[in-house]
């Protein structure tokens, strides 16, 4: 039987059913539907990909208000493993973007069988989860991504791996650098995301008044081979305000 959200069904109910021919395509999605970023800063969005008989590259870009920008290409055949990101999109926030909430879309574009195919990243699962599991949230929320723009952070982060690649079973060494604004001397607490299974980050905080630390990502012998976008986040307090800053993604390349 066919029924709608109020569980009504029967000959008195009318449904519209659309039948379209099958065509290769793809779906994009995000794990959450809202993010934070400071003026002049950025936020990194892992893009989840589900392919349907299409394995070539997908161009992903930000569609939104002036001052927001970002683009990345999901390589052919990525993601190599299910339930992992095909790429990480860095959304850049201009220094003059006003503080406050805004909304934007994530567009994926590819040429399939000679035609341009455009799909927008879905956040429907995240919205349903936040609305106590409602199966059909408002349609306008399916692809709308929220962004809270905050004041400029008093520091920025940069990450660089010491070597272009690392072998399984050996540590991947990296350098994390903080650029501090005058007057900001506090400790910066660091965390890392984006690493695959069986890769453990060994990070320590950037001490007060310091601008650089050495860290490691320890890849076990059974960690997957491939390229993974690692995002290091720093949190600190300045003038009784909490700030959270993401460094631009750095590629961890694991080889046998």
Q: List pLDDT tens digits, range 227-244.
A: 898 999 999 999 998 898
Residues 110 and 129 occupy one common structural domain: yes
Three-state DSSP state, 197: coil
Domain count of the fold of the chain: 2
Domain that holds residue 48: 25-150
Residues 116 and 40 occupy one common structural domain: yes
Burial (CB count within 10 angstroms: exposed 0-12, middle 13-18, buried 19+), residue 236: buried
Question: Which domain-ending residue is among 97, 132, 150?
Answer: 150
Residues 210 and 251 occupy one common structural domain: yes
**Domain CATH for 221:** 2.60.40.830
* 63-112: pLDDT as tens digits: 999 999 999 999 998 887 766 789 999 999 999 999 999 999 999 999 99
> Among residues of the chain, what percentage have pLDDT more than 90?
74
Residue ranges of the alpha helices (H) in the chain? Answer: 124-130
* 107-131: pLDDT as tens digits: 999 999 999 999 999 999 999 999 9
**Domain CATH for 60:** 2.60.40
Burial (CB count within 10 angstroms: exposed 0-12, middle 13-18, buried 19+), residue 86: buried
How is residue 174 written in tokens?
């990296």
- Residue 232 inside a domain? The answer is yes
The pTM (predicted TM-score) of the whole model is 0.79
Mean pLDDT of the chain: 92
- Bridge partners of 156? 179
Neighbours of 209 (CB within 10 A): 10
């Amino acid at each position: 039987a066919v029924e709608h959200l109020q569980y009504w069904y029967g000959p008195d109910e009318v449904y519209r059913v659309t039948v379209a021919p099958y065509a290769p395509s793809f779906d994009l999605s995000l794990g959450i539907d809202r993010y934070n970023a400071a003026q002049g800063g950025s936020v990194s969005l892992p893009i989840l990909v589900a392919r349907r008989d299409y394995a070539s590259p997908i161009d992903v870009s930000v569609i939104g208000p002036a001052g927001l920008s970002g683009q990345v290409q999901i390589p052919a055949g990525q993601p190599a493993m299910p339930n992992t990101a095909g790429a990480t999109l860095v959304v850049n926030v201009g220094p003059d973007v006003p503080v406050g909430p805004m909304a934007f879309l994530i567009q994926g574009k590819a040429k399939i069988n000679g035609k341009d195919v455009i799909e927008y990243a879905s956040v429907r699962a995240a919205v349903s989860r936040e609305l106590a599991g409602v199966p059909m949230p408002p349609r306008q929320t399916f692809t709308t991504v929220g962004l809270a723009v905050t004041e400029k952070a008093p520091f920025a982060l940069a990450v660089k791996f010491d070597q272009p690649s690392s072998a399984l079973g050996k540590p991947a060494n990296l350098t994390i650098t903080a650029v501090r604004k005058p007057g900001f001397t506090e400790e910066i607490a660091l965390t890392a995301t984006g690493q695959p299974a069986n890769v453990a980050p060994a990070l320590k905080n950037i001490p007060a008044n310091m601008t650089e630390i050495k860290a490691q990502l320890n890849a076990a012998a059974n960690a997957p081979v491939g390229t993974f976008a690692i995002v290091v986040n720093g949190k600190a307090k300045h003038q009784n305000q909490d700030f959270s800053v993401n460094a631009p993604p750095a590629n961890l390349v694991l080889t046998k």
